A and B are shown apart, each in its own frame.
Chain A
Amino acid sequence: MSKGFLEIENLSQRFPQPDSSDLMTVFEGVDLEIQKGEFVCLIGHSGCGKSTILNVLAGLATPTDGNVIMDNKEIKGPSLDQGVIFQNHSLLPWLSARDNVMFAVRARWPNWSRAKRLEHAERYLKMVGLDHAMDRKPSQLSGGMRQRVGIARAFAIEPKLLLMDEPFGALDALTRGVIQEELLKIWSETHQTVFMITHDVDEAILLADRVLLMTNGPHAKVAESVKIDIPRPRERASLHQHENYYKIRNHLVDFLVHRAKDMSLEAQQEAAQGVDPRHKPRFVNPANPEESAPEPATDADATAAADRPRMRAV
């Protein structure tokens, strides 16, 4: 099996509960691979541990179990190899837009001259269309512009992996659409490896090569890896006219509405029975079901098979 650029192995997160000595398992046994240059979106309901996975990748959280290997090195803490864009822009409010990007550039390349840093920072700010607002402080920028500065800051340090935690969640729909297209444009120029959390199915279809679907917590799993079989360049305006669009969209929505919950109940039963939770997401291509991996055992089979160890679906 080919080694991915980013390897997540048997990742689990458990938290102590205030009113019980048992640990609460948020998610467990997650195996994932992400290739270099891939744009991957993770979708799941609130509380399934999406943000925790992202924080582990960022090095800001330590998982209870498992490890993450990026480019043959284990991720042990935050570093400049992982750029992060948070939902709440997290710009430093006392610095101008330009200085916020400069701050990151300086951290990345401390030996660069000031002129070189300035030139680099301004290039990325222009890429997100902020040439006219570089001197403004975050408080003087609109929500969308702040998020653009955040994007410029993250792309400017040219990280190996770009992590985005619902970056457009706080924006209105119109602004969101514009920035999504800008993000697509920058991504097509830089081909960063991107791991992004979103709640928005359409956003995921527009941006991603692959969408990871997470079941509800506790005992959440990354159940499916859905291929977005729509050629690039994609455009928001014409995306829904593609023949595969509704097949993919229906599959994602169906998962979120029905199966995320059903599979969560299944996972909890399995956990109670002591089944090894380690799993890989099932590969699905809604546009071409023949490519998809076989369906896992049904509910009835699972109950019957409860006593004997179960094969993992790969």
Chain B
Amino acid sequence: MLTNLNFRAGVLSLVFLVVFLGVWQLATAPEALLIGDQELSEYEMLTGGGQQTSSGRGIPAPTEVFAHAVSELSNPFYDAGPNDKGIGIQLAYSIYRVLLGFALAALIAIPFGFVIGMSPLLNKAFDPYIQVLKPISPLAWMPLALFIIRDSNISAIFVIFICSIWPMLVNTAYGVASVRNDWLNVAKTHELSKIRTAFTVILPAAAPTILTGMRISIGIAWLVIVAAEMLVGGTGIGYYIWNEWNNLDLASVIFAILMIGVIGFILDASLAQATKLVRYAD
């Protein structure tokens, strides 16, 4: 029954994909454009109509995007100067920034979340700050970061750090604070030290919640890195998209959008796998 369901869902997915690509192909095929060989008006020239006619169309057809993807992916790591690097290099820069910022955030958020989760006093004392800092768009920190750090690359990592820290902090504190009293009593009646209680009872009990926080964080970090790199420029997938937009190379832009989705999916799926490892049925 389940395999049957999976099979049917797979077929349906494929049907959607074919219909979507078909419509896209038809809508962007050169014959479908009405402009054709007509003379350009001055307005059309100003709004980029000239570009459209010179390359035949505006939005590239899926076949064109596919051809572009094949050529990019066949040589993803070439480096021909600051404005012409392979997609693999650009993605690697972004992943590196995200993982570094995320790891630094985890290093601080998880121990700190642990402490405020265990102490109702600290929990209450820090709550107002967390509640105010949490909703700030991470990009709002960018000017301050650039001014203080004076390095665009580290500023981008800082922005990732600051956006990843909140979900992990809040979830860790929540997970630790809501460890069942029964289990804490078990630790007490067995005379476990505070440290042993933290590692053998509270950590495994809160691990699924902590991992959920990490999963939310990495998702947000991957969303934010694109915008951050558009701002700071230089390298990374966000910069790549913006650069290709300036080149009016929409095939590259669409290809990059797809790659962002794929990498984001992989990041999320790997944390989902890690969550499975620590999950327990109650």
Partner of B200, one of A88, A103, A108, A140: A103
Whether B190 contacts A92 by the Cβ 8 Å rule is: no
Partner of B280, one of A83, A137, A157: A137
Chain B at the A interface: SS class: helix
Distance A90 CA – B185 CA, assembled complex (angstroms): 9
- CB 8 Å contact bits of B236-255 with A (1 = contact, 0 = none): 00000000000000000000
> Which residues of A sit under 8 angstroms from B191, Cβ to Cβ?
78-80, 107
Judge if A93 is at the interface, Cβ distance under 8 Å.
yes
Distance A108 CA – B280 CA, assembled complex (angstroms): 26
> Which residues of B sit under 8 angstroms from A187, Cβ to Cβ?
none
Partner of B282, one of A77, A82, A93, A108: A93
> Which residues of A sit under 8 angstroms from B282, Cβ to Cβ?
93, 139
- CB 8 Å contact bits of B169-206 with A (1 = contact, 0 = none): 00000000000001101101111100000001100110
Partner of B189, one of A83, A93, A137, A139: A83
Partner of A93, one of B185, B192, B200, B281: B281
Residue of B nearest to A100 (CB): B186
Partner of B281, one of A86, A88, A104, A137: A137
Please report the total number of B residues contacting A with Cβ < 8 Å. 17
Judge if A145 is at the interface, Cβ distance under 8 Å.
no
Whether A157 contacts B188 by the Cβ 8 Å rule is: no
Judge if A170 is at the interface, Cβ distance under 8 Å.
no
Judge if A41 is at the interface, Cβ distance under 8 Å.
no
Residue of B nearest to A81 (CB): B191
Partner of A92, one of B188, B189, B201: B201
CB distance from A161 to the nearest CB of B (A): 11
Judge if A58 is at the interface, Cβ distance under 8 Å.
yes
Whether A104 contacts B183 by the Cβ 8 Å rule is: no
> Which residues of A sit under 8 angstroms from B183, Cβ to Cβ?
90, 92
Judge if A60 is at the interface, Cβ distance under 8 Å.
yes
A59-B189, A107-B191 known, 8 other contacts, Cβ within 8 Å: A77-B188, A78-B188, A80-B191, A82-B189, A92-B204, A94-B280, A103-B200, A107-B190
In the assembled complex, 10 residue pairs joining A and B whose CB atoms fall closer than 8 Å, in A order, are A60-B189, A80-B189, A82-B189, A86-B182, A88-B182, A90-B182, A92-B204, A94-B280, A108-B190, A140-B281
Which 3 A/B pairs are nearest by Cβ-Cβ distance? A139-B281, A107-B190, A90-B182
